[in-house]
Amino acid sequence: MTITERIQQLSPQIKRALQPEFIFILKQDTIQHFPIRQWSNKQIKQEILSRYQQVQTTTVDHHLICYGTNDEPVLIIPKVATFAELT
C-alpha cells in the first residue's frame, strides 16, 4: 500500500482531527501527535529533516506528507501543503 493510500484510508474521525497546530506521526499501528502551535516554518522543516536521512514528500488533502523508508513513521503536517512552503 502506498503512503497516499494509507492516508486516504484513515478513518473520518482521524481525518477530522488533523488540525494545523499539530504534527501527526503515523506509525504502522498507531498515530501520535505533538503541538506546533508557535513553531515557525523553519522549525517545522528542521523537525522533518532531523527525522529522515532522505525525505520524500507528497500532498494529500492539502496536508504535507513526509516519509522516508517503509519502516519509518510518516509525518502528516496539516499546517502546510508543500515542502517548498517551509523555506
How much is the mean pLDDT over the chain?
Answer: 94
pLDDT digits (tens, 9 = 90+) for 38-66: 999 999 999 999 999 999 999 999 999 99
What dihedral angle (degrees, nearest 10) is formed by the CA atoms of 36, 11, 58, 56? 80
pLDDT confidence bin for 68, thresholds 50/70/90:
very high
Pairing state of beta strands 22-26 and 31-35?
antiparallel
- pLDDT score for 61: 92
Which residue is listed with cell 529533516? 49
Domain limits of the chain?
3-86
pLDDT greater than 90 at residue 22: yes
Instruction: Give the mean pLDDT of 11-35.
Output: 94
